[in-house]
Amino acid sequence: MTENIKDKVVVITGASSGLGEETARHLVASGAKVALGARRLDKLNALVAELGVENASAFEGDVTNREAVEAFVTDARAKWGKIDAMLHNAGVMPLAPLAMKRTDEWDRCIDVNLKGVLYGIGAVLPIMQEQGYGQNLFVSSVAGHVVNPVGAVYCATKFGVRAIAESLRQEVKGHGPLRTTILSPGAVDTELPGSVKAEGVHEAVVGLYDQYAIPASSFARSVIFALSQPAEVDINEILFRPTSQER
Ligand SMILES: NC(=O)c1ccc[n+]([C@@H]2O[C@H](COP(=O)([O-])OP(=O)(O)OC[C@H]3O[C@@H](n4cnc5c(N)ncnc54)[C@H](OP(=O)(O)O)[C@@H]3O)[C@@H](O)[C@H]2O)c1
């Protein structure tokens, strides 16, 4: 399962916790080099220390800042010489009913989950096209397939991520072996429920995660699977849930 991963350079946004952090561990264990981005540099530096400076680098930046995303990707290429893949993973999940009118959270969710992904594509695509290879991996969600009553904005961003990824997949045909993968997890045990602040909703989401969230290694293994395919195989979608998650 880990073939074709050794010496690949993988850029990861949102690598300071949860899915991004755990995936970095699995990638380095499989022989890859990882460029880690997030706002909490102390967490990234701790992960670099764990993985080894010969395998990992850290970059502090906010994905809602286009210049910061460009600088992160440029820095990764300068450090590691190439970019084989980018995991567009940074995200927030401020679930709340629309009637609560939490407009700052609407803005933040769209800025991080959609604009952040677009800025990542804008930064890395020219490099991948120049190289003639590359794989973009996007993190949607079960919420990118199924709408729920407190998830209007979050679901919109995760449906949107799938639309962006599928459009990209079609656009880059004919530009060498560029590949596009959408990963849609169900409830996975990370810091994500902490981004649900709305009273009542927070407690409900934490309760659901306590009940059935699965370890982040489930996600990391799906990334490894998608990245380990030979160049002519493009894994476009992976949707998975905890076995006990109904919707
Ligand atoms: N866990 C789940 O159940 C689940 C299910 C489906 C989809 N997802 C998706 O998986 C992705 C990763 O989430 P997670 O579950 O691993 O949650 P997490 O533990 O909260 O991690 C979120 C990551 O995103 C980063 N981030 C947030 N805002 C950012 C910003 N403005 N700029 C740069 N980085 C930012 C955080 O780093 P800093 O705070 O250090 O910046 C952190 O590293 C998200 O896109 C989420 O929607 C998660």
Residue 120 confidence (pLDDT): 98
Mean pLDDT over residues 199-226, rounded? 97
Sign of CA dihedral 169, 172, 173, 176: negative
Asked if the structure places residue 186 within a domain, the reply is yes
Q: Ligand 1 center to residue 128 CA distance, Å? A: 24
Q: What gap in Å lies between CA 130 and CA 8, rounded to an integer? A: 17
Model confidence pLDDT, tens digit, residues 80-130:
999 999 999 999 999 999 999 999 999 999 999 999 999 999 999 999 999
Distances (CA, A) of 103 to 66, 106, 198, 220, 223: 22, 5, 12, 33, 33
pLDDT of residue 1 exceeding 60, the answer is no
Q: Ligand 1 center to residue 91 CA distance, Å? A: 4
Q: Beta-carbon neighbour count of residue 8 at 10 Å?
A: 20
Q: By three-state DSSP, how is residue 30 classified?
A: coil
Model confidence pLDDT, tens digit, residues 130-156:
999 999 999 999 999 999 999 999 999
Q: Ligand 1 center to residue 240 CA distance, Å? A: 17
Mean pLDDT of the chain: 96
Mutate to test the pocket of ligand 1, among 19, 64, 66, 104 (most ligand atoms within 8 A of CB): 19
Residue 2 confidence (pLDDT): 72
Q: Are strands 237-240 and 134-139 parallel, antiparallel or unpaired?
A: unpaired
Identify each DSSP E strand in 14-133 by its residue range: 33-38, 56-60, 85-88
Asked if the structure places residue 218 within a domain, the reply is yes
Asked if the structure places residue 226 within a domain, the reply is yes
Report how many domains make up the chain: 1
Residue 184: pLDDT band (50, 70, 90) is: very high
Q: Ligand 1: does its nearest atom lie under 6 Å from the Cβ of 93? A: yes
Q: Ligand 1: does its nearest atom lie under 6 Å from the Cβ of 117? A: no
Residue 201 confidence (pLDDT): 96
Q: Ligand 1: does its nearest atom lie under 6 Å from the Cβ of 12? A: no
pLDDT of residue 212 exceeding 90, the answer is yes
Q: Ligand 1 center to residue 42 CA distance, Å? A: 16
Q: Is 119 a catalytic residue?
A: no
Q: Ligand 1: does its nearest atom lie under 6 Å from the Cβ of 63? A: yes
Mean pLDDT over residues 214-239, rounded? 97
Asked if the structure places residue 83 within a domain, the reply is yes
Q: Ligand 1: does its nearest atom lie under 6 Å from the Cβ of 94? A: no
Share of the chain above pLDDT 90, in %: 96
Asked if the structure places residue 168 within a domain, the reply is yes
Asked if the structure places residue 247 within a domain, the reply is no
Residue 12 confidence (pLDDT): 99
Q: What gap in Å lies between CA 191 and CA 136, rounded to an integer? A: 24
Contacts of 162 (CB under 8 A, 6+ apart): 138, 140, 144, 145, 182, 184
Q: Ligand 1: does its nearest atom lie under 6 Å from the Cβ of 114? A: no
Model confidence pLDDT, tens digit, residues 163-175:
999 999 999 987 6
Asked if the structure places residue 4 within a domain, the reply is no
Residue 51 confidence (pLDDT): 98
Tokens found for residue 224? 């490894």
Q: Ligand 1 center to residue 89 CA distance, Å? A: 6
Protein residue whose Cα sits closest to atom 30 of ligand 1: 62
- CATH number of the domain where residue 109 is located: 3.40.50.720
Q: What gap in Å lies between CA 128 and CA 105, rounded to an integer? A: 33
pLDDT of residue 58 exceeding 90, the answer is yes
Q: Tally the C-alpha atoms within 13 A of residue 11's C-alpha that lie toward its C-beta.
A: 35
Asked if the structure places residue 3 within a domain, the reply is no
Give strand pairing partners of 60. 38
**Domain, as residue range, for 26:** 9-240
Residue 75 confidence (pLDDT): 98
